[in-house]
Structures are given as structure tokens and as C-alpha cells.
A and B are shown apart, each in its own frame.
Chain A
Amino acid sequence: MPSTALLLSQAFNGLALGTLLALVASGLTIILGTLGVLNFAHGALFMLGAYAMYVVMAHTGSWLLGLLAGGVFMLVVGVALERLLVRLFYQRPHEDQILVTFGAGIVIVEAVRAYFGGNTKSVPTPPWGQGIVRLGFLFYPTYRLELIGIVAAVLFALYLLLYRTSIGLVVRAGIEDARMVGVLGINVRRAFLAVFALGVLAAGVAGMLYAPIVSVQPDMGGSFLVEAFVVIVIGGLGSYPGAVVGGLIAGEIISLTSAFNTAYSEVMLFAVMALLLVLRPQGLFGSEGRV
């Protein structure tokens, strides 16, 4: 049995990983829920965000500028992707949507590899995030601790956007019945564009925030994509609360399992998913018969 201190520290790591997964998965789930498109390029967009942070930090050294410029860059990428590619696929089968976003992901990853090379880039921790913090009897890296707060704020902002604004109302109505929203005369095309760009922004911001503590290289998005899928299956397709809660659960499963046996940390996550598929196939927050 691991010590209490180890479990506590792992629980904290789980929170950090969980908020990251929640952010990545919420971008995925907003797009999936509203547009019905499973965005296989999401992992590549996460990676692109991390590279955006790397470029700005390397040139200016400013974290805040990295976040702002990177955010604008991700919105532009999202708009371009929706206008040029994803829009053509709303009426096509899900399989085609998956294939085209999967292909877009390959192109993004390989373009980054061609330009930056395949080796790992390091992104410095901002000055206010350096060092470690003493939390009672637990020492914890400052930036990781701050990240939990920052991501929680971002998730809350996303919540406000989705649940307290008119665009959010359109998005949530679109999740329920996209055709009906169109019938009501709301400009669905523009709303769809906004939603896609927002989802891409969420992936990118997650990549930017985590750039200092993960190894930044072209293939870094793949495993996050799969974990975000698992989060969505656990939380329920297209459900924003499901993505957040599912993300936190997934983070804790991975971290706490590795306190017992590192070898099983990821496997346990998939085992829980398999169990849930048997017991509650629609996920924790999903409604039955959707998608």
C-alpha cells in the first residue's frame, strides 16, 4: 500500500492531468455535440498550440504574448479548417468526416515536422511559475499548481460562454437538434463556424498551457487524442459537463493507479471505459439513443 503522502501527491497530479484532459475533451465534445463531427485532427491542433507557444516564447520570452498570439493563431486555423474542409462534410457520412479530419491531422503533424524537425523542443516555464510550493507536507511544482487554477478558470469561462450567452444557447440547442435550430432561422452556418473555431481554440490553449511541462514534438497529440476519446466515452457524447467530469475522473484513474503500479495506469483507464460500456453505454452524462 503506497504512503498517504504519495497518494496525496498523485491525487494532485491527477487533478493537473484531469484538467488538461477536460480542456482537450471539451473542445472535442463541443464540436462533436454541435456539428456531429468527430474531429480526429484534435490531437494535432493540441500539438500546434504547443508549437505556437514555443515560437512566441523563443522570440519574445513572454508567456502572456504567447497565449494571446497563440490564441489568435488557433482561431485562424480553426476558421480556415472549417471553411476549407470541415464545412464540406456536414452532409456526408460520419466515416468520411473522421477520415478527412484524420487526414488533416496527418498533414498538420507532417507540416510541423517538415518545418521544425522531429526533435523535442523545450518551452521554458514562465518566471512566475518557477520553483516549488510547499503545501503542508507536500512539495509541488509551482507551475503545475498554477495550471490547475488557470485551466479551471478557462473551463469556467467556457461554461459561462456555453450556458450564459446567446451563442451558447445556439450551441446547446444545436447539440439537441441542429436541424430545428436551422428551421428557427438562426444562422447555423455562422454558429457552426464559431463552434468549430472555439473547439480548436480549446485544444490549442491546452497545448499552449502544457507546453512547458510536456515534451513538445510533432507526435505529442496522438495519445491526448485517444485519452480525450476515452473521456468522451466515459462522460457521454457531446456533453460538456461529461467532458469536464470525465476528464477529472480519467486524470485521477491514471495518476492514482500509477501510485500502485505504473505499468497499469493507462490500462486501468481503458478497463474502466470497457466496464462503463457494458454498464452504462451512453456514458455518465449522455442521454440514451444519441448519436
Chain B
Amino acid sequence: MKLGRLAPEAVLAAVLIAAPFLLVHVGFSYDLLERILDWGLIGLGFDLLFGVAGMLSFGQAAFYGTGGFVAAWLLVGHHLASVWLALAVGTLAAGLVGLGVGALAVRRIGIYFTMITLAFCEMGFFLENSPLAAYTGGENGLPGVPVPQLGPWRLTSGLPIYWLLAVLFLAGFVLARRIRHSPFGAVLAAIKGNAARAGQAGHSVPDYKLAVFVIAALYAGLAGGLLGVIQSYMPPDAFALDTSGQLVVQTIIGGVGTLIGPMVGAAVWLWLRDNLQMIPHVGALWKLILGLIFVVLVVALKRGIAGELRYLLTRRRRAAAEAGVPEDSADGAPMPLAAPDLPLRAPLVATRADAPALRALGVSKFYGGLHAVEDVSFQVRSGAIHAVIGPNGAGKSTLFKMLSEEIAPTSGRVELFGRPITGLGVTRATQLGIGKSNQLNQLFLDLSVSENIRLAALARARGRFRADLWRAADSIPAVERQVALATATVGLAHRAQVPVHVLPYGEKRRLEIGIALATGANVLLLDEPLAGMSPAERVATRALVREIARGRTVLIVEHDMDAIFELAERITVLYEGRLLAEGTPDEIQRNQAVQAAYLGGLHEHEPA
């Protein structure tokens, strides 16, 4: 491991060692420092959940309370003698509750997810308060939580407990940081950026969301157990809604997505509370002031304290990565053509040797009374470049979405090398070896080019879901070869470290193809790959498509007829949702019905 990668851990360790000696002089008591680290510990999990994966939960108090009360009940009721064991059991209990709540919550997106986590948090509060009062002490909480014993030492309140918290927080930080930089963490970041594309690339989004939800619950559970130990008392307000809310505010103030941010925010919040409360007139206003700061930070898209610090520290590196971007714009971009045979390929699923690569059997899609696609059947020979054309509104994109399993057909089915894939969903279909580049770019704009492509390659190498939390995302040699090759193939090697949102349009378009390519697809669907490109880029991209097709089957939708007639060995024509004609380019060019449809179509619709 390189020294540079360990730097934040080393800095944090130094700060944690120095804090009790230096910060006591500015109003931080040992007790205050312990509570800050306890909040920081829930915050590590919460920041993985919200900062990294983008899932805003207002339910962390439920897991904090669960971990705390399970551990406290075990100890106060003398069911367990070991504080360590009780903390472990409490943490696991919180994880189990997280699994249950998560199973209900993570399939819902955005607003719904937040509302559900909030509701379950309130449910935990009421459960603690009345039905379970016999175990939790209800409104009184559980007093008399013992301190832990470490070999010959009793970790009494004051410095000994502080060291315990410091060690656990440091360990929690190291783990959280490994998780964020792991392949697992890379998928979480992709889910935050564009969940639909992460699923389309072959990652099982609900599984990843549930896993990070449980991880966050485990962090909260451990912090809850430690709260009882710090205070020798487990307070009922651990379950309160305000606890969840306070965590959110602290995270924003401290810096979301920095892992350390929630702890920094807790330091601000708790220090203000403890030190301003003494001052008359101002005492009651500290929360109002923090509330205003919070709103300003959210409105102005500010990064929070730790976020601002990180931004300043990494400014030079970021500037270097973004430098030189505008110099070669859309026109005449060099496109080195590497060997397109990627090291990670989907295993061939062929059930019969002579099965076509892709076959649609009577596929239809109805939206209410609108028949977007009606009873379309055709097949694509393995190794071919096959085109689907038709005037605007003919149903080409809808057909493509059914072929790639992004949407389910109303009737009919699709076979990949003779194996039915209808009903599997896009993630499983991608894992079976069908990839698609979209008509509208679906990129991870905040990630770099190579991170975008790596995300797709990881899905091929790791399957739909894997909890590899400890290794680095860029440490899988086969994946890195795939990333390098796919990046070079679409001519973006010189842009590998550039964040995608600064790329010119033409390069974004090629990256869209690169992502589909890096999934290792045996059958690649390209939905209008040339759309919006300059004439020079069109020429280069045509060559790219031909190059890609050497190793796989390509199905292409395109309005550029010159390109289609040059590339395709077979053409399927759709018109108003139905199959109009099929044949070789020559046959299609001579086909009367096709000419009529296009002439008619041109009068009705503008060509793209």
C-alpha cells in the first residue's frame, strides 16, 4: 500500500491522539469528545449511505436506538457479563433491523425512501416507549450500563473511554474509507450518479442499496451501544426523530461525502450547545443559527467544513486532470483502433450451435391504446451487423428497450442465443451478454472516464452483486485490462482521468458506446450512435462500429442511411410499430413499400 493512500488515516490518528490534550482548553471536555466521536461513528455509516450512495435516510435513530438498547438490556439485566459481547450483539441486532427496514425501503426511490425510513424511525420510538417499556425502561431509559474491562483495566469514564472511542472511530474510518474505494463503493457511487445505468451495466442496484443500508445500520448500532457505555445510561431519545435529524444537519455542516464530515459537524453542534447554553440571551439561539447555516449551505451547494477543506487540498490535482480538455473538440478527434476483443467477455449462453444471436418472437408493446410496437419478429445472425431503420416514431427505441430487457414486452419474447431472456430484467440480461448504448447519453457525470468504463467492466468481472469491501476498485488486473482496452477502443485513452461532465458532446457519445462495450457484451445494441456527431466524427465512429463488430454481434438503430447501407449486412425496417420489410441493403433500397414509408414519413416528421 502506498503511503499517499494512508495519509488521511495517519492525520486522523494524530488528531485523535492530540485532541484530549489540546482541545480541553477550548471547551471540549472528555465527555464532549466522546459524544462527538460517537456521533461521528453513526456518521461514517450514514455518509456511506447518503454521501456515497445518495440515499437520504431519516431513520438512522432506529438503528442507533436498537444497538443501544439491546446492548444496555443485556448488560443491565445481567444476561451478558461481557460489555464487548453485548456491544457486538447490539450491533448485529441493529444490522438485522436494518435488513428488515431496508428490504421494504430500498426498492423505493428518492422521496419514498426518505419517508419510509422516517416512518420506521418513529415506529422504533413508539415501540421503545410503550410496548417494550418492560425491557427498555420506556421514558426513563436504562440506567446502570457498566464500563468495559480490557484485560486488567477497567475503561472508566474520562480518558480511558475516550481512547476506546478513538480507537473504534479510527477503525470505523479505515473500514469506511476502504469500502468507499472498493469495487463495492464504486458501484455505490455509480448508483448515486445514475442508478438506471448502474443496473443497465449489470449491477443489481437493490442488492447494493440494501447492503449499504445494513452497513450504515451496523455503524449506528455500534455507536448506540457505545452511547450507553459512555454515559452509564441508555437514554430513550436515542430513538427520537430529532436524533436522525441532528445527524443529517451535522453531516451537511461537516461535509457530506467526506466520511469525516459528520464527526466535524457533531463537534460544531455539540460544542455550540455545551458552550453557548451558559450565555444568557444567546443560549437559546444556537440551534436557530445552525438551522440558518444549514439552509444556506444547502441552497448555495456548499461542501461543508471537511468538504471545503478537501476541495482546497485537491484543487491542484483536479486542475491537472481537467487541463487540456477543450483543445481537441468534436472535430477530427483521433481514434486509435485497438483490438476489440476484450479480455472479459460474457460466457456464451448458446443452447444450440446454430441459434441466432438474438431473436424477437412476436414482440409487442402497448401503452394503453398506443401500439408502440406490434407483433415484431426477426432474428440477428451471430457475428452480423444488423440494422433497424424506420421513420421517427416507428418504435425502434421501444423495440431496443425490449431487446435489452429495460422494459417488458406486452406480449412476445426475446431469445439470446436461443435462451429466452424476457422477464429477466436488464441487469440479468446484461450479465448474459447483451449490452446497449443509449440514444440519450446515460453517463456518470461526476466520475472520470475510466471510472465510467470500470463500472461496466466490474459488473462483468464480479457478477450482479459482490460485497468485496476491502480491496481497491482498481486492483483487479483483468478489469484494468478491460478498462484500458475499452477506453482506447473508443479513443478516449488521453481523457481517462477527466471528469465526464467536462467532455465535449462527441466524446460523451463515444463513452456511451465504451460503457456498453466494457460490459463484455456478445450482442451489442447501438441506439443512434452517430446522433449529434460532426461529419468527421461520423466517419471515425463508423470505423469504430465496424471494428467493434469483428468480435461480436451488433444491432444498430441509426438515421444516417449512408452509414447503415455501408455497415449493415441485413436491415429490418419498422413502420408505425410494425415490421415493414427485411433484407439486404440492396433489397431494402429497391423496396417500394420502404420508399413510400420514408417519403410519407419525411412529410410527416422531421428527420433527426
Contact = CB atoms under 8 A, between A and B. Distances in A.
Interface of A: 32, 36, 38, 85, 88, 93-96, 98-100, 102-104, 106-107, 110-111, 113-114, 222-223, 226, 229-230, 232-233, 237, 262-264, 266-267, 270-271, 273-274, 277-278, 281, 291
Contacts of A106: 245, 249, 287, 290-291, 294
Contact of A266 (B110, B126, B285): B126
A291 B111 contact: yes
Q: Considering residues B122, B133, B248, which has the most beta carbons from chain A within 10 angstroms of its beta carbon?
A: B122
B56 A233 contact: no
A114 B131 contact: no
Given A95-B54, A103-B298, A237-B111, A267 B123 contact: yes
Interface size class of B (residues with CB under 8 A): 35 or more
Contacts of A94: 110-111, 114
Nearest to A92: B301
- Interface of B, secondary structure class, is helix
Given A103-B291, A232-B115, A264-B130, A226 B122 contact: yes
A278 B104 contact: yes
Interface string B274-318: 000000000011011011101100110000000000000000000
B298 A277 contact: no
Given A32-B111, A111-B288, A270 B299 contact: no
A267 B119 contact: no
B294 A110 contact: no
Given A95-B56, A99-B56, A277-B104, A291 B110 contact: yes
A263 B130 contact: yes
Contacts of B118: 226, 229
Nearest to B107: A281
Contacts, number: 109
Contacts of A38: 111, 114-115
Nearest to B123: A270
A99 B120 CA distance: 19
Q: Considering residues A93, A223, A267, which has the most beta carbons from chain B within 10 angstroms of its beta carbon?
A: A267
B466 interface: no
Given A106-B294, A226-B118, A233-B116, 4 more contacts: A93-B110, A110-B291, A230-B119, A263-B130
Nearest to B122: A226
A277 B103 CA distance: 10
B339 interface: no
18 contacts: A94-B110, A95-B56, A100-B295, A100-B298, A100-B299, A102-B245, A103-B249, A104-B295, A106-B291, A106-B294, A110-B291, A113-B284, A232-B115, A264-B130, A266-B122, A267-B123, A273-B119, A277-B108
B224 to A, nearest CB: 20
A106 B299 CA distance: 15
A267 B112 contact: no
Nearest to A277: B104
A2 to B, nearest CB: 18
A88 B300 CA distance: 10
A98 B299 contact: no
